[in-house]
């Protein structure tokens, strides 16, 4: 069964460093998403992406964040200058169409020191 995959599973970085989290969505899916979950808190929507454009973003998704589909398979989330409060699990998801079911990857645990 097709799955969303994410790399790395764990990432430790120093405050102020740039990180790139990678996702490979399910192959025939056209909509891509990033969510995050700070330890002990709710899963929060960050951004949705379609046709090489952001279709919706939350107030969390500020100028420090960017997303990209650099090739036909990868979908990336970049945090330009990490802060301590960026420490969280980051989940990628994809769906066939905008209103279709979203399938989530296993997540990347980001720790900012």
Partner 1 sequence: DAKTTQPPSMDCAEGRAANLPCNHSTISGNEYVYWYRQIHSQGPQYIIHGLKNNETNEMASLIITEDRKSSTLILPHATLRDTAVYYCIVRFTDKLIFGTGTRLQVFP
Is 66 a binding residue for partner 1 by CB under 8 A? The answer is no
Binders of partner 1 among residues 8 to 47 (CB under 8 A) are 31, 33, 35, 37, 39, 42-45
103-104/88-95 β-pairing: antiparallel
Is 61 a binding residue for partner 1 by CB under 8 A? The answer is no
Is 55 a binding residue for partner 1 by CB under 8 A? The answer is yes
For residues 42 and 85, which CB has a smaller minimum distance to partner 1 in the complex?
42
Residue 16 Cβ, how far from partner 1 at the closest point, in Å? 25
Contact with partner 1 (CB under 8 A) among 91, 94, 110, 112? 91
For residues 22 and 104, which CB has a smaller minimum distance to partner 1 in the complex?
104
What is the rounded CA–CA span in Å between residue 67 and residue 100?
Answer: 21
Q: What angle do CA 41, 83, 49 make, to 5 degrees?
A: 70
Enumerate binding residues for partner 1 (CB under 8 A).
4, 31, 33, 35, 37, 39, 42-45, 48, 55-56, 58, 89, 91, 93, 95, 98-99, 101-107, 109
């Amino acid at each position: 069964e097709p799955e969303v995959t994410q790399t790395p599973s764990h990432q430790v970085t120093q405050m102020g460093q740039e990180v790139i989290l990678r996702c490979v969505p399910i192959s025939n899916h056209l909509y891509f998403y990033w969510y995050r979950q700070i330890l002990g808190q709710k899963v929060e929507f960050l951004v949705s992406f379609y046709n090489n454009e952001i279709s919706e973003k939350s107030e969390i998704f500020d100028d420090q964040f960017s997303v990209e589909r650099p090739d036909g398979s990868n979908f990336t989330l970049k945090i330009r200058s990490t802060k301590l409060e960026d420490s969280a699990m980051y989940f990628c998801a994809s769906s066939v169409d905008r209103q279709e079911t979203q399938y989530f990857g296993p997540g990347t645990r980001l720790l900012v020191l």
